[in-house]
Amino acid sequence: MSRRKSGIESLGSLIPKRIPQGLSIAMTIAEMVREWEWVAGPNLGSKSRPVSIERDVLVVVCLTPSVAKVLDMKAGGLITRIESRWRIGIKGFRVVVGRIEVQKERPAPAPYRVEPSKASIQACLNYTSDKIEDEDVAEALARLMATYMKKFPSKN
């Protein structure tokens, strides 16, 4: 009987093998957008964005023709920098003049607390105190019941 080799792999090396290629490219482009100012420099990075990869060609949208010309002239260096960071097989670079979509960061929703009324807590306490002997447990359960009933009202 042959002995099995321990095939321990890091989680980071397993994930790329399991996700579809289209999703992997989309995740890479999203990361590239976040780090685009590092790739293109702060001046060009603020006036351009990578948008897609088509047949191993990175498509970049920029605001003006002058930015497009500068990016076109720096394409070789940008491809080298992109390949050293992401290794995604970019062979070419295409610049398109257009509008850059700025994604606004949505603020996290404000947390809210459901506070049941004292009357509903008392009604639930009347129900639980008959069945549970420990007063603290009965009160805690009554609060929980009243909170649940307020958050998820019955449709009757």
> 138 lies in which domain range?
118-151
Query: Quick one: 92 and 145 in the same domain?
Result: no
Task: Tell me the per-residue pLDDT of 90-139, one tens digit each, with 9 for 90 and over.
Answer: 999 999 999 987 767 778 888 888 899 999 999 999 988 888 889 999 99
- Alpha carbon distance 89, 51 (integer Å): 16
Residue 156 lies in a domain: no
What mean pLDDT comes out for the span 36-56?
93
pLDDT at 22: 78
Judge whether residue 12 has pLDDT over 70: no
- Residue 72 domain-assigned? yes
- Per the structure, the count of domains in the chain is 2
Do 29 and 61 belong together in one domain? yes
Query: Does the residue 113 lie in any domain?
Result: no
Residue length, the chain?
Answer: 156
- pLDDT for the residue numbered 6: 63
127/91 same-domain check: no
Is there a domain that residue 122 lies in? yes
| Residues 90 and 145 reside in one and the same domain | no
The domain spanning residue 84 has which CATH number?
3.30.300.180
Over residues 75-80, mean pLDDT: 94
Asked if residue 125 and residue 91 are part of one domain, the reply reads no
At residue 27, the pLDDT reads 87
Considering only residues 25 and 97, tell me which one the structure prediction assigns the higher pLDDT.
Answer: 97
Overall average pLDDT of the 57-83 stretch: 95
Residue 5 lies in a domain: no
pLDDT for 156: 58
Residue 73 lies in a domain: yes
Q: Which residue has the higher pLDDT, 42 or 156?
A: 42
SS3 sequence of 70-131: HHHHCHHHHHHHHHHHHCCCCCEEEEEECCCCCCCCCCCCCCCCCCCCHHHHHHHHHHHHCC
Whether residues 45 and 91 fall in one domain: yes
Strand partners, 57: 54, 92
In the structure encoding, which two tokens stand for residue 14, read together? Answer: 């397993």
Residue 86 sits in the same domain as residue 125: no
